[in-house]
Amino acid sequence: MPASLPIGTRGSPLALWQAEHVRDRLSAHHGPERGAASLKVITTSGDRIQDKPLADFGGKGLFTKEIDEALLRGDIALAVHSTKDLPTQLPEGLCLAAVLPRADVRDAFLSPVAPSLAALPAGAVVGTSSLRRAAQVKRARPDLRVIDFRGNVQTRLRKLAEGVADATLLAKAGLDRLGLAEAATSVLSVEDMLPAVAQGAIGVVARTNDVQTRALLEPLNDATTQFAVRCERAFLAELDGSCRTPIAGLAAIEDGAIRFRGLILSPDGAEWHEVEMTGPVAEADAIGRQAGEDVRGRAGPTFLEKLM
C-alpha cells in the first residue's frame, strides 16, 4: 500500500471539515490509493491564546507558524487553511498550491434580539474579534458597543446564547460548512459588510519544490477563485495588512474581467476610504496592488501609521 499524504490542519471543527474536504477531493480525483491522505492535527500559537484580543499580538501567521514548520520539515505534505487566515507573504519555500472553488463570501448576522444589524436596539452589544467587522458595524451604527469575542465558531455561538452579547457576525461559509446555516438570523450584503480578503476560499499550501504533491493538488484548484484571491491578497499586501488595520476587499470575476472593491477604515468606523477598480483577469495582482496604492494615497500618510 502506498503511504498516504499527510495533511496538516488545526483542530477546530471548521479546520477539520476543510481538511477532510480536501482529503475527499484528492481521493475523488486520484482514486483511493494514489489520492489517499490522512489528517494530522497541529496546535498553533494562535490556538493557545485564549483571553487576550488577537490584535494585541500583532504578529502575522499566528495560526500558521507551527503548520508551516511541519511542512518545511517534511512531517506533512500539504496544509489546509482558510485562505483568509494566511499571511500575504508565505515563508520561503512554501506556496499556495491550490485554491478551492469559493463558497459564500458574505458575513452572517446572528442575534436572538433583532432580525438585522439595523434593527438592533440603541446601545446593543455586538461581539466580534474582527477589526474589520467592528469598524463596519460602528460605521453603520455608531451607537452600538463592540466587545471582543474570541474562540471558534461553536464557542462564539455559545457566548451569544449565554447573553454575553446581543449579536455577533460570522462568515456564512463557515456556518454552512459546519451545518449551522440555520443559526444565521440574516445575511449581510457585501455593500453593508465588505468581506475579509479571501473569505470563503479554502487554500492548500505545499512546498514549492514538491512537484509531486503540487501535481496532485492541481485538479483541486479553481482558476477563477485563485485570480480573485490573488487580487485581494495583493491589495492586502500593498497596505501591509497589519493586524490592527480594518481592511476589507472583494474581487468578482465575470467574462474575463475582474472587478475589485476595497475598503480601509479607522477602528471606530468614523473615517473610511473605498476603492473600486476593474481590468482583465490576467492582471489580478496588479489591480489589487494599484487599488491598495490608490486607497493609501487618498487616506493620506497618517491614516495607516496611526494604526501601526
Ligand X SMILES: NCc1[nH]cc(CCC(=O)O)c1CC(=O)O
Residue 127 makes contact with ligand X by CB under 6 A: no
The binder of ligand X chosen from 76, 126, 131, 173 (CB under 6 A): 173
171 binds ligand X (CB under 6 A): yes
Tell me how far, at minimum, the Cβ of 34 lies from ligand X, in Å: 27
**Could you tell me the smallest distance in angstroms from the CB atom of residue 255 to ligand X?**
25
Rounded Cα–Cα distance for residues 165 and 125 (Å): 5
Torsion over CA of 150, 155, 160 and 165, rounded to 10 degrees?
-20
> What torsion, rounded to 10 degrees, do the Cα atoms 96, 215, 6, 102 define?
50
Choosing from 24, 47, 68, 85, the catalytic residue is 85
Q: Which three cell numbers stand for residue 215?
A: 501535481
**For residues 149 and 165, what is the distance between their CA atoms, to the nearest angstrom?**
9
In the complex, the smallest distance separating the C-beta of residue 17 from ligand X, rounded to whole angstroms, is 10
Q: Does 251 bind ligand X (CB under 6 A)?
A: no
- Cα distance between residue 302 and residue 308, in whole Å: 10
SS3 40: strand
**CB nearer ligand X, residue 199 or residue 266:** 199
Give the Cα separation of 208 and 296 in Å (integer). Answer: 32
Question: How far apart are CB 301 and ligand X at their closest, in Å?
Answer: 30
Site residues for ligand X, 64-93, by CB under 6 A, read 82, 84-85
Catalytic site includes residue 166 = no
Residues 279 and 173: their CA atoms lie apart, in Å, by 27
Between 97 and 198, CB nearer to ligand X: 198
Question: With binding defined as CB under 6 A, does residue 170 bind ligand X?
Answer: yes
207 binds ligand X (CB under 6 A): no
Q: Which residue bears the cell 479571501?
A: 198
Select 127 or 174, whichever has its Cβ closest to ligand X: 174
**Residues making up the chain, counted from first to last:** 308
Least spacing, CB of residue 15 vs ligand X, in Å: 9
Encoded amino acid at 281, one letter: V
Q: Which is nearer to ligand X, 244 or 273 (CB)?
A: 244
Nearer to ligand X, 171 or 248 (CB): 171
Q: Does 266 contact ligand X by CB under 6 A?
A: no
**Cβ atoms of residues 269 and 137 within 8 Å:** yes
- Summarize as ranges the residues that interact with ligand X (CB under 6 A): 82, 84-85, 153, 170-171, 173-174, 199-201
Give catalytic residue positions: 85
